[in-house]
């Protein structure tokens, strides 16, 4: 078959490698190649495989649909390439996806099951060639163009406005997320959302209390527990996973302590709802909050309402600083370097300097990981 692979970031590269190894013909399209507008590349193409970062409105994608060429996400192709014996737990939601996905991976390993953790968590599903189980984090971008994907257990953690700059409306975003349930054998859903399935909530009794901090992480643990039970995992293994899982990088991650001041990296909080969860996790401690980055079309008023009296100072960075300043009393520090230095200078022993941006990172960084690593570095040099 002849495939056009659109987008050559991690998932696109994994697709190219898998297809080439099978002997398929591959046409690669990427902004870096300068060939995004070459419509002749569609000639003879059987399927267009679109990376999650490529919007569906790009001319080649639109034209492919007009010509009747199937458009698949990397997830759809990868699912079709998995052995029929592989079972899948899919995890989606606005926030908590990576934590819940990795926690489930830890639980499955505690149960002695062969498991691969993949998807939006960082390892492309297309790079998984064989596994008994796959726990797959699924973003709205990845779910837009699935066709036959069928999860043995499908988990929806929550639904709050996000990625409105890409989807155009909350309804479109919600519809993309709910595609995870279209062929699912078991559904795990938040209590009170009005969806059919196995319900979970933060106050559920659990086999063990989770090691990770915050009410939102107890909710993640409840979702992981319900999903693991639906997959047939016993409570002893679930308890082991809950007691030992330390969390994921860039998500309420303690990265330094200098003179009694703790620095917490929550760079993965790329929307308002995630930042509000971080504020709730530290509501009983003095906080110096760093916000800002690239805009996603969100309203910052709910974030302003969540800022309690324990927040001693607010430091704004990046493209969103102006919009944040319109609703919050913050200092426009411009860059993360100045914000960390400013926050640290005003902090006292027992205080927390919290990076929880409520924004994407693309104005100043390649991704939230790079932003988080920079925060880690800047935090540690405060001791020098």
Q: Enumerate the active-site residues.
A: 97, 120, 163
Structure-token pair, residue 292 = 């800002």
Cβ atoms of 155 and 188 within 8 Å: the answer is yes
Q: Between the CA of residue 30 and those of 14, 70, 291, what are the distances in Å?
A: 14, 19, 32
Count CB-CB contacts under 10 A for residue 102.
Answer: 25
What are the phi and psi torsion angles at 98 (to 5°)? -65, -45
Three-class DSSP category at 263: strand
- Rounded-to-integer distance, Cα 272 and Cα 49, Å: 31
Is 340:379 a contact under the CB 8 Å cutoff?
yes
Report d(CA 130, CA 81) in Å as an integer.
9
**Strand pairing category for 2-6 and 331-334:** unpaired
């Amino acid at each position: 078959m002849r495939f056009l692979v659109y987008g050559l970031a991690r998932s696109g590269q994994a697709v190219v490698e898998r297809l080439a190894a099978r002997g398929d013909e591959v046409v690669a399209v990427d902004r870096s190649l300068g060939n995004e507008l070459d419509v002749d590349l569609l000639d003879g193409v059987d399927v267009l495989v679109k990376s999650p970062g490529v919007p569906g409105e790009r001319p080649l994608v639109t034209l492919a649909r007009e010509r009747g060429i199937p458009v698949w996400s990397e997830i759809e192709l990868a699912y079709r390439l998995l052995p029929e014996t592989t079972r899948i737990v899919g995890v989606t939601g606005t926030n908590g996806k990576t934590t819940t996905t990795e926690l489930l991976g830890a639980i499955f390993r505690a149960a002695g099951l062969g498991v691969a953790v993949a998807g939006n968590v960082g390892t492309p599903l297309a790079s998984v060639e064989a596994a008994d189980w796959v726990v797959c984090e699924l973003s709205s971008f990845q779910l837009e163009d699935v066709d036959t994907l069928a999860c043995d257990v499908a988990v929806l953690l929550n639904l709050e406005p996000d990625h409105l700059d890409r989807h155009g409306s909350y309804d479109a975003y919600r519809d993309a997320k709910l595609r995870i349930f279209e062929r699912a054998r078991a559904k795990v859903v938040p209590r009170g959302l009005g969806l059919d399935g196995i319900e979970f909530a933060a106050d559920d009794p659990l086999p063990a209390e989770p090691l990770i901090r915050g009410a939102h992480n107890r909710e993640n643990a409840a979702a992981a527990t319900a999903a693991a039970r639906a997959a047939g995992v016993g409570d002893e293994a679930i308890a082991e996973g809950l007691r030992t899982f330390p969390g994921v990088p860039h998500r309420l991650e303690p990265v330094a302590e200098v003179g009694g001041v703790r620095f917490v990296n929550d760079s993965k909080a790329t929307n308002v709802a995630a930042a509000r969860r971080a504020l709730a996790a530290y509501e009983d401690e003095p906080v110096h909050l760093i916000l800002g980055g690239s805009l996603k079309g969100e309203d910052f008023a709910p974030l302003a309402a969540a800022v309690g009296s324990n927040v001693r100072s607010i430091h704004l960075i990046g493209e969103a600083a102006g919009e944040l300043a319109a609703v919050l009393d913050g200092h426009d520090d411009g860059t993360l370097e100045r914000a960390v230095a400013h926050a640290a200078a005003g902090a006292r022993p027992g205080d927390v300097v919290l990076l929880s941006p409520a924004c994407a990172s693309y104005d100043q960084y390649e991704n939230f990981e790079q932003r988080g690593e920079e925060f880690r570095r800047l935090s540690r040099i405060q001791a020098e």
